Amino acid sequence: MARKVDLVVVGGGAMGLATAWQAAVRGHDVVLLERFERGHLQGASHGSTRNFNIAYDDGEYVDLVARARSLWDELAAVSDAPLLDLVGVVNHGRSDMLGRMRELHAERGIESELLPPADAGARWTGLRFETEVLWVPDSGRIRAADTLATFERIATGLGAEVSWSTPVERIEVEGDDSARVVTADEEYVAPRVVVTAGAWTEGLVGGLARLPRLVVTQEQPAHFRVTDADAVWPGFNHRPDPDAAAEAWWYGPVYGMLTPGEGVKAGWHGTGPVTDPDARTFEPEARQFEALRRYAREWLPGVDAETADPISCTYTSTDTEDFVLDRVGPLVVGAGFSGHGFKFTPLIGEILVDLVEDGEAPARFRQLGRPAA
């Protein structure tokens, strides 16, 4: 006999836990099913830190970060635990993009400042700058692991059920308001099923909805040992100039932040090799990893580039880097967070539960279609 619930969430990473949190807050009877154990390293949500950066050159994303920030503050107040460390973020490289970001901040009353490279280098001695620097003080570092634990603690405290090490074998759509979720030990029937399965999204829902192209890559940032004990470390984002010959060896933009107790985390954004999430080696691609060390030697004078401790995670990316937040029949999908979604996590949970309740996501994220007949 299938168990009937209001909502099943498939996938217990950041976005699935945020969905369970928001659903429980709104009084839904919710069950979350995650194929791996709590704290696993298989997907995209593990690790201690992420950047919280308000600097986008797209006004809609700037507005969405502002909405997410208010939810981060609400979450921290309810949990009585700090989740954001507002150490600020510095953005450098591409001067055209920095100027646009600063304009968007000024239009919205967001505090930011363009600094000459010499001034920035004197202030943040662990980093090197050659272009103007956009300093955004009301940004910083997300305590990522603490965030996942907070979502789970609040959700389960409100009655949500979280089942780890429980792979979903299949999802069956039975009508516009009914779906069946099958595991090895139990079946669930619910009017809505939210799938937040990261790299496994295509395998779970590819036959139930038309998805945009989702590319899964193995990303391989690293932690570097800090050598400058006096350095102040903001988060950082560094965008290469496509016309600069000296940066032709770069694989793409670089992001990073200090992870207390682990060193300075730095990585290429969205440049890793395409991978099968069930057949990863977890070994860094050698050329990209050596290029990351070179970046640290040339641009991070406050670290020891030879101490790179590799990290392995996945990105699931759309061609536009816009998220997939949409519903077809009983199926709600959150996917394609393209390496920049974590800062939006509580907002993603809110939007996905809005979709459960027949609301709408922002238009640019409505990327699902009915399955082919």
Full 3-state SS string of 319-358: CCCCCEEEEECCEEEEECCCCCCHHHHHHHHHHHHHHHCC
Indicate if the pLDDT at residue 140 is higher than 70. Answer: yes
Average pLDDT value over all residues in the chain: 96
**What is the model's pTM?**
0.97
| Tokens standing for residue 107 | 């239009």
Indicate if the pLDDT at residue 373 is higher than 70. Answer: no
> Can you tell me the mean pLDDT for 251-265?
97
Question: Which sequence spans correspond to the domains of the chain?
Answer: 3-45+146-211+320-365, 89-137+216-317
CA angle 234, 69, 257 (to 5 degrees): 20
Instruction: State which amino acid sits at residue 117.
Output: P
CATH superfamily of 89-137+216-317: D-Amino Acid Oxidase, subunit A, domain 2 (3.30.9.10)
CB atoms within 10 A of CB 162: 20
CB atoms within 10 A of CB 169: 11
Q: Among 3.90.180.10, 2.60.40.10, 3.40.50.720, 3.50.50.60, what is the CATH number of 3-45+146-211+320-365?
A: 3.50.50.60
pLDDT digits (tens, 9 = 90+) for 190-200: 999 999 999 99
What CA–CA distances, in Å, run from 128 to 101, 239, 255, 316?
Answer: 21, 13, 14, 31
Q: Provide DSSP, 73-141.
A: HHHHHHHTS--EE---EEEEE-HHHHHHHHHHHHHHT---EEE-HHHHHHH-TTS--SS-EEEETT-EE
Q: What is the rounded distance in angstroms from the CA atom of residue 51 to the CA atom of residue 255?
A: 8
Task: Give the 3-state secondary structure of 10-59.
Answer: ECCCHHHHHHHHHHHHCCCCEEEECCCCCCCCCCCCCCCEEEECCCCCCH
Q: How confident is the model at residue 142 (pLDDT cuts 50, 70, 90)?
A: very high
